[in-house]
Amino acid sequence: MIAFIIYFAAILSAISASHIYDVNKFGADSTGRKPSTHAIQKAINKAASNNGGTVHFPHGQYLSGAIELKSNIILDFADDVVLKFLDDPKEYPPLHKKLPNGKIVNLQFTPLIRAFDHINITIRGNAVLDGHGETWWKRMPPPSTRPVFLQIFWVRYLTLENITVKSSPMFNVNLKNCDDVTIRGIKIRNPANYVDPGPNTDGINVNSCRRVHITGVNISTGDDCIALDANGKGKTKTPTEDVLIEDSHMYAGHGGVSIGSVTSGGLRNVTVRNCIFNGTNRGLFIKSRRGRGGLVEDIHYHNIQMVDLRKEGIAIAAIYNGSDPGLRSRDFYWEPVNETTPFIRNVEFKNIHGDSVLNPIFIVGLPESPIENVTFTNVKIESKLDVFTNNTKNVVINGKVLDS
């Protein structure tokens, strides 16, 4: 499945690469002394009017406000290009837009880079994209909303390759309702929230997306490194499914790879393998709660090394409310099952090693919805605390059944 995605996306990229649009020829300033927003957008629009092409940034530094990508566009950077984004809120006004697919976009700020309802988009090159987040974090601390760096909604065939994204005002890469996504070799850099506040700077957010391949990424940030969510109500529920995350290295972050807490659309068929988590708060974290609903199932974690984790090594919690004290609450009583009840089942951990300050394994379900069918094989996480389980069914840790 993944090989087909990459191959087909490569074919489409080759189609749109036949024409090259040099941003400097459209008036961009490669010295970075003056904004090039209009020149960059003019090059993108010209390529789009000709059914796509490669919008190329020659070597240099560029300054820009918000830009919009369109179908069949390759945003291509020469080696060592730096693209800095302005930190003036006037450059990112509220965005209210009805898309051709009938969906409505209402955002408090226009994203730094956006694409809505398009196909075949690539951003590639050994370049640094700098969101100037330091100014935003001081100006608008939590719970304020700030601009997202890369916001990609309803796009099919998306490739992000080799770029470095740093100092995002808020989320770095935010994907929603996208299909056939490849993210390869990118780096994300924001300060850890326990060092210098870089609030809500999730690395890669994947929400209600299908067929996603994330490989060779390197992330250090102030929130989850990679977060998988799925939302919707009733007929609008859209799952996140068929996701492969592999060969990646996570440093500072709330979680190395987190699933939830937005689970109403359901998440299934997710594999995380051959990764290193070094200094994240938690390593592998599945979280939901009453009111969120959704089914999380068929999740596989293989060959993970976790070093110096600041909290739990592996955590699965159906009582997550956004706080650590809430995560450890024991005052949960049975409630009737309804559409908003979360279910978590069929989770596999294999060849997981490391150390953590808090519980090596922490699993808490709901009385009416125990977390079930969780298997640990060759899992060893050093900690001064014990494994903790509550409201579970058929949990097997290295051959020993441990239910509560």
b/e for 150-187, b at 16 or more Cβ within 10 A? bbbbbbbbbbbbbbbbbbbbbbbbbbbbbbbbbbbbbb
- Beta strand pairing status for 371-382 and 104-107? unpaired
Report the alpha-carbon distance of residue 63 to residue 37 in Å, rounded.
7
With beta carbons less than 8 A apart as the criterion, state whether 148 and 164 touch.
no
Please provide the size of the chain in residues. Answer: 404
Neighbours of 88 (CB within 10 A): 11
* Amino acid residing at 140: M
* Amino acid residing at 198: G
Contacts of 353 (CB under 8 A, 6+ apart): 304, 305, 306, 379, 380, 381
Contacts of 139 (CB under 8 A, 6+ apart): none
Q: Radius of gyration of the chain from Cα atoms?
A: 21
b/e for 317-344, b at 16 or more Cβ within 10 A? bbbbeeeeeebeeeebeeeeeeeebbbb
Neighbours of 101 (CB within 10 A): 10
Strand boundaries in 193-324, DSSP class E: 204-207, 210-215, 218-220, 226-229, 240-246, 249-250, 255-259, 267-278, 282-287, 295-309, 314-317
Closest to 387 in 3D by CA, of 316, 318, 323, 332:
316
**Residue 341, SS3 per DSSP:** coil
Catalytic residue among 19, 38, 254, 353: 254
Active-site annotation holds for 254? yes
HSE, CB side, 13 Å, CA atoms: give it for residue 388: 17
With beta carbons less than 8 A apart as the criterion, state whether 165 and 140 touch.
no
Catalytic residues: 254
